[in-house]
Amino acid sequence: EAGVAQSPRYKIIEKRQSVAFWCNPISGHATLYWYQQILGQGPKLLIQFQNNGVVDDSQLPKDRFSAERLKGVDSTLKIQPAKLEDSAVYLCASSYTYEDRGNSPLHFGNGTRLTVT
C-alpha cells in the first residue's frame, strides 16, 4: 500500500511569513495526526482528526497554527505568522481507526523540515 505522503519535503521561510504543509494519508485511514518534532526530541502531537472532525487540538498553538481536513482525506497545516521556534520537522501520520484503547498503529510520512530564519 502507498504510504503517507507529505509535501514539501523542505521549506525555508523568514519569521513572520506564512507557510502551509500538505498531507495525504493512507487510503481508508479515518484518523489523521499532525506532529511537531524539534531536533533531538520526540514527536509532539499537535492535532488529531477523525474523518473531517477534530478529536483533539489541545496542544495546537491556535494563535498561529491552523489545520483542516476537508472531505476527511487530505489535510493541511498552516503557520501564520511563523516564529524562529517553529523550526522543526512537521510529521503527518494516519491510522485505520481511533479508539481510546485500540491497537491501530500510526503510519508516518517522512515529514516537512521547516527552517525559520
Partner 1 sequence: LAKTTQPISMDSYEGQEVNITCSHNNIATNDYITWYQQFPSQGPRFIIQGYKTKVTNEVASLFIPADRKSSTLSLPRVSLSDTAVYYCLGGTGFQKLVFGTGTRLLVSP
Question: Which C-beta is closer to partner 1: that of 20 or that of 89?
Answer: 89
Question: Which C-beta is closer to partner 1: that of 14 or that of 102?
Answer: 102
Which burial class, exposed, middle or buried, applies to 18 when counting CB atoms under 10 A from its CB (0-12, 13-18, 19+)? exposed
How many residues are given for the chain?
A: 117
Q: How many secondary structure helices (H) and strands (E) does the chain include?
A: 0, 11
State in angstroms the smallest separation of the CB of 16 from partner 1: 27
Question: Which C-beta is closer to partner 1: that of 78 or that of 107?
Answer: 107
State in angstroms the smallest separation of the CB of 113 from partner 1: 8
Which burial class, exposed, middle or buried, applies to 27 when counting CB atoms under 10 A from its CB (0-12, 13-18, 19+)? exposed
Would you tell me which residues interact with partner 1 (CB under 8 A)? 4, 33, 35, 40-45, 48, 56, 91, 93, 100-103, 105-111, 113
Question: Which C-beta is closer to partner 1: that of 14 or that of 38?
Answer: 38
State in angstroms the smallest separation of the CB of 11 from partner 1: 15
The distance from CA 70 to its chain's CA centroid, rounded to whole angstroms, is 14
